[in-house]
Amino acid sequence: MAFDLSGVILAIIIGTLAAIVYSLRILVLLERRIARVDVNIERIASRIMQEEIRIEKEEEKIEHLLKRRKK
């Protein structure tokens, strides 16, 4: 009886450890995926900033031309 109980307890402990290891593996994979998403968001933000700078320069040109035209 004591042998059967210790076997069950050992199986529970091993199963719990396996679940913990599996959960850690999933967390590592999710962390990597989130890191890739962050990198892509940074790239998109950088492109948007470049585009905004280009638009602002174009607006300045247009405003300058309009001021010259009014004079």
* pTM, to two decimals: 0.62
Q: The dihedral of CA 14, 20, 26, 29: what is its sign?
A: negative
Question: How many residues comprise the chain?
Answer: 71
Helix (H) / strand (E) element for 71: namely: none
User: Any idea where the domains of the chain sit in the sequence?
Assistant: 25-71
Residue in this structure with the two tokens 């109980």, named with its chain if needed: 5
For 29-59, what is each residue's pLDDT tens digit?
999 999 999 999 999 999 999 999 999 999 9
pLDDT recorded at residue 67: 86
Residue 6's identity, in one-letter code, is S
pLDDT recorded at residue 12: 96
Question: Is the pLDDT at 1 greater than 60, yes or no?
Answer: no
Question: Is the pLDDT at 64 greater than 70, yes or no?
Answer: yes
Please give the Cα distance from 32 to 18 (Å, whole number): 21
Question: Is the pLDDT at 20 greater than 60, yes or no?
Answer: yes
